[in-house]
Amino acid sequence: LSLQQVNDLSPNEFHQIFINVIECWSEGAIYVSALVPFKNFDRLIESFHRYLDQLSIENKLKILRLHPDLAGKLADDDLLTDESKYEQSCAGLDLLTAENKLKMNELNYKYKQKFSFPFVICVRENSKFEAILKGISERIDNEVQQEIEIGIGEVKKICRLRILEIVDYSK
Ligand code: GUN
């Protein structure tokens, strides 16, 4: 979509199109639909980012908990959202060796035991399996408060890339 096309959307159309730029959290698209029109696409992305920043800790936790595990059960059962499926495949997480899958599953489990939410990382910006493993191994030592903010920071990166799949930045 061009900027003009985005700006011509009704709030309801906007909501439907941007519904999953924050994984399974359509409230973000509803909130931002009220901010149309945008001067440029940076402002559109910023609006989603600001929305995420101003949420309560409770809502940030809810959003993190809506993310599927990387290479986890939902992926095995082919129940991921289209966006998550695409992202995980970009990092080859659908084609891991049995050994690497086990490693990933074990670390996901430990991470979730500690934090009570899943490990979220923008896998399209960390598309090497080693980088993802390094990320989870390092982040598991963080404090909960810090990890909520890092996780939401990753949700912002994921959100930006999902928006870029929808809009045509050159127009
Ligand atoms: N990074 C990009 N997409 C996803 C996702 O769906 N889940 C997790 N945990 N991280 C992601």
What digits encode the pLDDT tens for the residues 13-60?
Answer: 999 999 999 999 999 999 999 999 999 999 999 999 999 999 999 999
For residue 134, what pLDDT is reported?
Answer: 96
The residues carrying an active-site annotation are 67
For residue 6, what pLDDT is reported?
Answer: 98
11-14 own/partner pairs: CB under 8 Å, 24+ apart: 11/36
CB 85 within 8 A of CB 75: yes
Residue of the nearest CA to atom 8 in ligand 1? 120
Which pTM was predicted? Answer: 0.96
For residue 171, what pLDDT is reported?
Answer: 82
Ligand 1: residue of 87, 132, 140 to mutate (most ligand atoms within 8 A of CB) is 87
pLDDT surpasses 90 at 127:
no
40 Cα: distance to centroid of ligand 1 (angstroms)? 27
d(C-alpha 115, C-alpha 57), whole Å: 13
